[in-house]
């Protein structure tokens, strides 16, 4: 089975059913989406795109963009989506790094992107459009070079680029098999039906989009494509849920918190929702309780997994969350055919109740990083002949068998002889009723030692005094974890995938 077959199979079963609905209200049937992706595939093959090639996508989320995804797959190639709003230099680096043979791009930014591409010359060609949409696409294509044959990877479906520790994005390679392991698990767990309507809030370059795109189209359901402009307006989102009768929602906790705080969801009829999924970051319990109070009907799922693993654990949230200020939502148990190991640095399992790094092995784990052998060596380890991916996340197994997320290995610092997880300080700050968002950084001040800085958003009238913040921290944290400095910001910087942008926060600092 390949991902593009999901659309073709649904088109044969229910050709006239609505496959996708755009933010502007345009629709396309399964027969229409299948036909459009066939035409995209034919256009790419006419430009000498072959099986195993990479095809870039620099597009906002539209029906034509969805058709482009399946057209690339039908051509036997792998798609490489980027953030449309990112600088042309970054996107040019990604497409050059993966040795893309062709790039589908909006005409408005094609010239700027073309100027940043390597391996040319790149020629501009027309793109087959589906219906009347207020955007125009073109295809940039280049001639095949001898070295292009060396990059072929059997079964490769897509490459998602994430921020790299070297300062350059790194490509996470997923096959049809690894993606379908997750898609098939979602199908078994959520039991989608043709009458379901899924939200598609995440951009295509974010791994949350794998559920959004493929699960509804596998079952002949509809996907509501929410573009980035609408997705950042919390007041519009409950309106969309009501208008399109969305049944299955998926986004980061940050978006759900904004809906509660600024979207006035109680004024909209969101009773169609039956499942609400969230992933990508920790969901502070106080905000989740608030959401469940407004939307009591849906079943809530906490889905966990780095881009490298798709979703590898899940936790079905109980209808009543324990009324405990220190309660942290677990990330749950293994899913998608994966196996988990909580290990010491030498790969031996930790003792029960102890903290260790989460290692994942199984069906949904990525193939490798694109052309980064040193990263692959560090990311994977062998234990008793089994290949495990090191997530870099510190976790512990609870008595229930569920896994609890503790923090990031790379956000663990040593202060006054104590190990300090910066995420634990963030979690403590989130307990304050007037702090909806918080992020913590550590700075090496040389002889003065390590300085911990807390950045927060204040929802009340005037920000509190330093004394009041210190007192609050003393009631929720050991003394050695209390921040040295507090900075109130109107909002925390976010990445295009709605996570806290720590790199930008460092620049602000």
Q: What is the pLDDT of residues 345-371, one digit of tens each?
A: 999 999 988 999 999 999 999 999 999
Residue at a domain's end among 91, 119, 152? 152
State the pLDDT at residue 335: 97
Q: Can the peptide bond before residue 488 be classed as cis, meaning omega within 30 degrees of 0?
A: no
Q: Is residue 78 part of a domain?
A: yes
Q: Can you spell out the DSSP letters for 83-140?
A: -TTS-HHHHHHHHHHTT-SEEEEEHHHHHHHHTT--S--EEEEE----S--S--EEEE
User: Please, which pLDDT band fits residue 423 given cuts at 50, 70 and 90?
Assistant: confident
State the pLDDT at residue 164: 60
State the pLDDT at residue 449: 75
Task: Give the H/E segment covering residue 301.
Answer: strand 299-304
- Considering its fold, how many domains does the chain have in total? 2
State the pLDDT at residue 259: 95
Tokens representing residue 337 in the block? 């055919």
Q: Is residue 497 part of a domain?
A: yes
Judged by average pLDDT, the poorest of 119-133, 270-284, 395-409, 425-439 is 119-133
Nearest to 64, CA basis, from 107, 127, 141, 1? 127
- When the pLDDT of each residue in the chain is averaged and rounded to a whole number, the result is 92
Q: Which residues form the domain of 461? A: 416-508
Specify whether the CB–CB gap between 396 and 404 falls below 8 A. yes
Q: Is residue 275 part of a domain?
A: no
Task: Look up tokens 């970054």; give the residue.
Answer: 90
Sign of CA dihedral 381, 382, 383, 386: positive
Q: What is the pLDDT of residues 463-499, one digit of tens each?
A: 899 999 999 998 888 787 899 999 999 999 988 888 8
Residues 123 and 144: their CA atoms lie apart, in Å, by 13
State the pLDDT at residue 166: 54
Task: Give 30's strand partners.
Answer: none
Q: Is residue 89 part of a domain?
A: yes
Residues 260 and 294: their CA atoms lie apart, in Å, by 8
Instruction: With a cut of 60, say whether residue 165 has pLDDT above it.
Output: no
Residue at a domain's end among 152, 187, 203? 152
Q: Is residue 159 part of a domain?
A: no
Q: Is residue 448 part of a domain?
A: yes
Q: Is residue 132 part of a domain?
A: yes
Neighbouring C-beta atoms of residue 87, cutoff 10 Å: 12
Residues 158 and 373: their CA atoms lie apart, in Å, by 19
Q: What is the CATH number of the domain that holds 77?
A: 3.40.50.980
Residues 496 and 89: their CA atoms lie apart, in Å, by 16
Residue at a domain's end among 152, 181, 198? 152
State the pLDDT at residue 322: 85
Instruction: With a cut of 60, say whether residue 11 has pLDDT above it.
Output: yes
Q: What is the CATH number of the domain that holds 495?
A: 3.30.300.30
% of the chain beyond a pLDDT of 70:
97
Q: Give the pairing type, strands 137-142 and 122-126.
A: antiparallel
Average pLDDT over residues 275-292: 92
Please indicate whether residue 448 or residue 212 has the higher confidence score (pLDDT). Answer: 212
Q: Is residue 206 part of a domain?
A: no
């Amino acid at each position: 089975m390949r991902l593009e077959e999901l659309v073709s199979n649904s088109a044969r079963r229910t050709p006239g059913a609505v496959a996708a609905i755009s933010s502007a209200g345009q629709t396309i049937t399964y027969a229409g989406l299948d036909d459009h992706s066939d035409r995209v595939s034919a256009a790419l093959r006419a430009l000498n795109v072959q099986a195993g090639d990479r095809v870039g996508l620099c597009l906002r989320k539209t029906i034509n963009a969805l058709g482009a995804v399946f057209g690339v797959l039908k051509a036997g190639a792998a798609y490489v989506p980027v953030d449309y709003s990112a600088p042309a230099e970054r996107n040019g680096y990604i497409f050059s790094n993966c040795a893309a043979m062709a790039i589908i791009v909006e005409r408005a930014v094609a010239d700027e992107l073309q100027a940043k591409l390597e391996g040319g010359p790149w020629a501009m060609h027309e793109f087959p459009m589906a219906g009347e949409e207020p955007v125009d696409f073109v295809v940039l294509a280049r001639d095949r070079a001898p070295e292009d044959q060396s990059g072929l990877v059997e079964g490769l479906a897509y490459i998602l680029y994430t921020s790299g520790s070297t300062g350059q994005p790194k490509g996470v390679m997923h096959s049809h098999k690894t993606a379908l392991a997750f898609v098939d698990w979602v199908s078994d767990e959520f039991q989608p039906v043709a009458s379901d309507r899924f939200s598609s809030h995440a951009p295509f370059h974010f791994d949350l989009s794998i559920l959004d795109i493929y699960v509804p189209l596998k079952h002949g359901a509809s996907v509501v494509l929410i573009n980035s402009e609408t997705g950042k307006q919390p007041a519009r989102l409950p309106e969309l849920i009501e208008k399109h009768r969305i049944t299955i929602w998926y986004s980061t906790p940050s978006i759900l918190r904004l809906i509660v705080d600024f979207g006035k969801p109680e004024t909209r009829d969101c009773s169609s929702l039956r499942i609400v999924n969230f992933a990508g970051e920790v969901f502070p319990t106080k905000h989740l309780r608030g959401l469940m109070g407004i939307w009591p009907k849906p079943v809530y799922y906490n889905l966990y997994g780095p881009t490298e693993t798709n979703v590898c654990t899940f936790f079905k949230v109980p209808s009543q969350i324990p009324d405990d200020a220190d309660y942290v939502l677990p990330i749950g148990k293994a899913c998608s055919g994966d196996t988990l190991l909580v290990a010491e640095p030498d790969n031996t399992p930790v003792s029960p109740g102890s903290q260790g790094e989460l290692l994942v092995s199984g069906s949904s784990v990525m193939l490798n990083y694109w052309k980064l052998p040193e990263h692959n060596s560090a990311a994977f380890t062998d234990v008793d002949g089994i290949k495990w991916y090191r997530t870099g996340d510190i976790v512990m197994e609870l008595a229930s068998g569920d896994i609890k997320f503790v923090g990031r290995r790379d956000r663990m610092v040593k202060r006054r002889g104590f190990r300090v997880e910066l995420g634990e300080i963030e979690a403590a700050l989130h307990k304050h009723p007037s702090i909806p968002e918080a992020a913590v950084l550590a700075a090496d001040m040389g002889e003065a030692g390590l300085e911990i800085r807390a950045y927060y958003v204040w929802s009340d009238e005037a920000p509190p005094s330093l004394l009041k913040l210190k007192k609050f921290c003393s009631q929720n944290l050991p003394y050695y974890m209390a921040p040295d400095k507090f900075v109130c910001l109107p909002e925390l910087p976010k990445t295009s995938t709605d996570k806290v942008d720590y790199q930008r926060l460092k620049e602000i600092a």
